[in-house]
Structure 1
Amino acid sequence: MYKLFTSIIGGDRSCIAFKLLRVMKITIILLTVLMVHVHASGLAQTITLKADNIPLKEVIVQLQNKTGYNFIFNSELLNSTKPITLNVSNAPIESVFKICFNRNGLSFVINEDEGTVVLSKSISKTNNNVAETIRGTVTDEKGDGIPGVSVTVKGTKTVTITNNNGAFTINVPDKAVTLVFSIVGYQSKEVLASADLSKIVLKETDTRLDEVIVVGYGTQKRSDLTAPISSLSAKAIEERGLNRVDQALVGQLAGVNVKQTTGLPGKGFSIQVRGSGSISANTEPLYVIDGFPLGQTTTDVSGGFSGGNALDNINPDDIESIEVLKDAAAAAIYGSRASNGVVMITTKKGQVGKTKIQFSSSVGATNITRKVDVLNGDEWIDRATEMINAAYVAAYGSRGATAADDEAKRISIIGTRNVAYVLD
């Protein structure tokens, strides 16, 4: 049996000890390599996290669930921290930790062996290090460089602008900061300074050039218009709770002057498009409701004419949109009636879909602030008699003529005479 054992393990005892020592060395080397590999993989870990004004304590819970680290800290450290807002995708975990903790005055230490992250209060030190310079390029969706893009370090006044090729250079305190790229006509974008900045792509914004505007007897896209047209949507009218349609135009459209010319409750407003064109003539614009022009004058039973307001009988809640035509384009459609401009009103129409019922109500009361004292019946007779007597005295001198009732109602002689002639 002994011979069989020794033959299997390789002979004498000295050889056995040597082989065991070699096995132990190989095992230690393999374990060391494995630990280094685990440590390297932990440091290279990335994370995707989205937070919108979330307390730091809740962010720590999300980080713990996503990374598997256990966070060790004193709960009092989180009393004065600010909410976290960030949106990162596959970002290095240390960069995310810096954004969450360093900005709140906290430092962190990652212990890969124990799988823990220890948080503590940062100790302020004088930083004599030179800011790090980073470079990048901003392009559109076609790959062309965008000049004039503002590149700002978020939360600071550090800003630069891209050159004609879309390239930029900016100094940052560290790569944990966020860069904000913005320019008119493109959507703003926030990117971590530690990310790949070689090609930042900005998307164009919706400029609403496809909005349909009512012009004359048809509609056109805003992008195809050359004439100045001001528009007001139904939403802007509904939010203000108005009693009249013309009241909705006050201070809303450029070049349209709306003013109230009377203090009577519920009376209409005077509307002038691009100023007054005449001193004495009517300066009101032409009102067109759903394609039907409305006049500004009405006739009475005696054949005379009196001014009216075309908007008196329109409910503001029935308005879908209001467009104001201001220049010669209006006169080309409606002729001389549009010399003062055109106010085009489109009312709401039925829509396909489920039935919707909306109810709104407004109640108000008006009262005169100061009433005029009037005469009663006896006082009015006395004043009238006094004025009439004065007129008689002025007409007949000092004869003492008065406007008495007897003078006005003297005896009148009445009678008839009938003469008949009989001839042979």
Structure 2
Amino acid sequence: MRSNPRSRWTPAVPLSFLLCFLLIGPSPALGQNTITGTVVDVSTQQPLAGAQVVIEGSQLGSLTDNRGRFLILNVPQTTVTVEVIMIGYRATSVQVSAERPAVIELSPTAIDLDEIVVTGVVGEQQARSIGNAIGKIDAAAMQEMAPSPDVQDMLSATVAGVRIMSGGGEVGTGGITRIRGVKSMTLSAQPIIVVDGVRVNGGDNDSDLACGVGTDCAQMPSRLDDFNPDEIESIEIIKGPAAATLYGTEASNGVIQIITKKGQRGAPRVNMTVRQGANWYPDVQNLWPTTFYRSAAGSIEEVNVLALDARDEYGLLGGGRNWFQTGHNQGYQAD
């Protein structure tokens, strides 16, 4: 008997299914690009932490870490334009690619802020909102370049409209401070002084009731010179009668605002200052006025008291002395 051979069954695969598998299978996933890089300073090449990196035209972005690195995930394109923003640096836009890490350099730039003026009222005010003429002195910087012995010497010929009239030269006396001249023939013309928002005694040579215009009050000290210039951070001078809107009618002659130094973070620092100098007259005997007297014979005699006393010709006050000697000034300060 003849047997039939076994038949084999082969499954049929549609051609359309094979074409779809070939087209979809090997293609990469879309929107899975990664942008990485480092943000550094252009001059020092040091990494910058906290810089904001944003892809332009999207909401994708990141912040740099302590090493200046950033990472942006799920970027739809392989090449994008990113904008880097950081306070104190100029905003920069560059093109970066997902194929290699980027190095973005930022250049430092100055930041223009609204000027703040410390006033006697509660809080601070912007300079542009006050509307007054304000002169400012960076006392700390001035003391480093050209130290001044007192505050009046620091103000003299430094701020426009401020005039310091020197006294008679007596020990301890000060000058007269005027801001834009004299406004009254009978009332005091001195400006008020405010230190860190607190008004202080600002008396000068023209502060007494008996001392008006044309009266000599050169023996009085100036309270403005009681402040140590090395302890002052800055001085702001508000000029004109408009200062009365901040400090009252007494400020119609102007306001001198003194801002003292404050403590700062960091290691302790001690400043030692030594000042020395000398005071003398170049030729005191010839500069001294000549004295005339009538002798016993009735003639008029010319006498230079200093020269005669130095030679001990008449024995005045013991004789043989120099009335004027070179004075040695010295001062020491630590802060």
Q: Which has the larger radius of gyration?
A: 1
TM-score (norm 2): 0.44
Decide which structure has greater helix share: 1
By relative contact order (CA 8 Å, sep 6+), the higher-ranking structure is 2
